[in-house]
Amino acid sequence: MKSIRVFLVTVILAVVTLFSFISALRGYETSLQEVERMFDSQLVEKAKLIANINVQSIVRNVDSSDTAFQVWQGGNLIGSSDNASQTILGKLQPGFRYHNFEGYRWRTYSYYNTINAQWIIVAARQDIRFSLAENIALKAVLPAVIGLPILAVLIWIVVSRGLHPMRRLAHELGDKQANDLSPLSIAVNSQELSQIVSSSNDLLARLKSSLLREKQFASDAAHELRTPISSLKVQLYNISQEQPERNKEFGELQKITHQLEHVVEQILALYRTSPDEYHTRFEAIDLTSLAQQVIAEEYDNYERKNQQIEFFGQRQLILGDKFSLTTLIQNLLSNANKYTPNGGHIIVKIKRENDQVVLLVEDSGPGIPTYEHERLFQRFYRVGGDRHTSGESGCGLGLAIVKRIAELYNAEITLEPSSFASGTAFTLHFSAIIPVTLDSKQS
């Protein structure tokens, strides 16, 4: 049951309906019994009335066809109604009985008049009696049945009013921004809801404290690491100037230093692009020009591996932030550069599809198995682990940052095989804002 209100109304109405049904059934049975007793009392009164008028012959048209009577004296029928049989109706014993004649079942009452030594037997058709009793009983329970829909509406209104503070609480929680961990300001009067609000505020306070500690640690650690890394790079440069002839170990040390610097920068980028802390006001960004700029800045990396990179773009504007989009493109291109072999091919495309701007980065690398796609964007995860067959170093944060930035822009990101014999194509769909196109090509 998805709705608490529907659940409460359904359960309450079901319980009320069950008890109403039981009560109505019991009332129906009781009403039938009461009506039966009333009709039996009428038979008794009729028998006494007939005894007092001293009937001595067949009496015609004294009553309706649903009743009949006989008067017996000394074993002889001395009087009766015109619709009564000539045989005795039941037994000459005091009390109520049932007797069949004229094709109907009759309720009979035998009364002995001690003054005249006469037996008076009065009969009433049972089917008519039952029909009348049933109508009376149904009229007694009908209001309870008719009242169920009205009761359901009243229950719905009462439950809705009772849950109104819950809806206000849900709306306040739903309206909170991702970075808003301030206490709830909703005023509540109920004890149960005040406990929920108090517990929620305590949780928000603990989350805020925990996130502050985590962010402070990540920021401080990354910034503090920059200083010794910069000093290390300076010292390595000085050593390289004093000892031009460098050995293999020195090259490895430079490579490790570069990798460490890369990890620190990626941690900072991941922190800056966190949706919870992203406050930059978006502006119109030319994604095509930005991609061309990133390619130009990173061109030495492709030239070093003798890779051919082609860019096909139609100038498209999206709402965004230059830093985050630059970081996204850099990480996509860095990923392609690392895992595309020497002499390989990389293609970058920016195009318009309806109301979306599409960024495509594909390479001729080894490709990524389909079963790895789910984990590919996890932090610190690398396909093949740290001992990747490409031999390229990495920290496993690049694509996690790409995923995070895509979430900032509500952009859809997909992975497919590239158009080459092997490789991977990353595609991102952004919302376009201005339908401007200008063909350009760079290779």
pLDDT tens for residues 360-375?
999 998 888 777 777 7
Question: Which one has a higher pLDDT value, 48 or 269?
Answer: 48
Superfamily of domain 280-442: Histidine kinase-like ATPase, C-terminal domain (3.30.565.10)
Q: How many Cα atoms occupy the beta-carbon half-sphere of 253 within 13 Å? A: 14
pLDDT tens-digit series, residues 158-204: 877 777 777 777 777 777 666 667 777 776 666 667 777 777 778 87
- How many percent of the chain have pLDDT more than 70? 78
Residue type, 174: G
As its CATH architecture, domain 4-146 has: 2-Layer Sandwich (3.30)
Q: What is the pLDDT of residue 125?
A: 84
**For residues 289 and 294, what is the distance between their CA atoms, to the nearest angstrom?**
9
- Strand arrangement of the beta sheet that strand 118-125 belongs to: 58-59, 76-81, 67-73, 118-125, 104-113, 95-101
Give the tokens for residue 101.
């004649």
CB 416 within 8 A of CB 368: no
Q: Is 192-272 CATH 1.10.287.130?
A: yes
3-state DSSP assignment of residue 81: strand
Query: What DSSP character marks residue 366?
Result: S
CB 137 within 8 A of CB 43: no
By mean pLDDT, which of 99-103, 274-278, 399-403 is the weakest? Answer: 274-278
**For residues 438 and 443, what is the distance between their CA atoms, to the nearest angstrom?**
17
Residue type, 113: N
Rounded-to-5 percentages of helix, strand, coil across the chain: 50, 20, 25
Q: Is the pLDDT of residue 421 over 80?
A: yes
Residue type, 302: Y
Question: Which one has a higher pLDDT value, 5 or 364?
Answer: 364
3-state DSSP assignment of residue 187: coil
Q: Sort 319 into a burial class: Cβ within 10 Å, 0-12 / 13-18 / 19+.
A: middle
Under the banding of pLDDT at 50, 70 and 90, the label for residue 271 is low
Give the tokens for residue 222.
């990354």
Q: What is the pLDDT of residue 270?
A: 58
Q: How many Cα atoms occupy the beta-carbon half-sphere of 257 within 13 Å? A: 18
Under the banding of pLDDT at 50, 70 and 90, the label for residue 441 is very low
Q: What is the pLDDT of residue 245?
A: 62
According to DSSP, the β-strands at 439-442 and 308-314 are antiparallel
Q: What are phi and psi of 283, to 5 degrees?
A: -140, 170
According to DSSP, the β-strands at 412-417 and 424-434 are antiparallel
Q: Is the pLDDT of residue 11 over 70?
A: yes
Q: Measure the N-to-C terminal CA separation of the chain; round to a whole number of Å.
A: 59
Residue type, 60: R
pTM of the model: 0.47
According to DSSP, the β-strands at 412-417 and 356-363 are unpaired
**For residues 263 and 218, what is the distance between their CA atoms, to the nearest angstrom?**
12
Average of pLDDT values for 200-224?
Answer: 74
The domains of the chain are located at 4-146, 192-272, 280-442
**For residues 215 and 209, what is the distance between their CA atoms, to the nearest angstrom?**
10
Contacts of 234 (CB under 8 A, 6+ apart): none
Cβ neighbours of 90 (radius 10 Å): 19
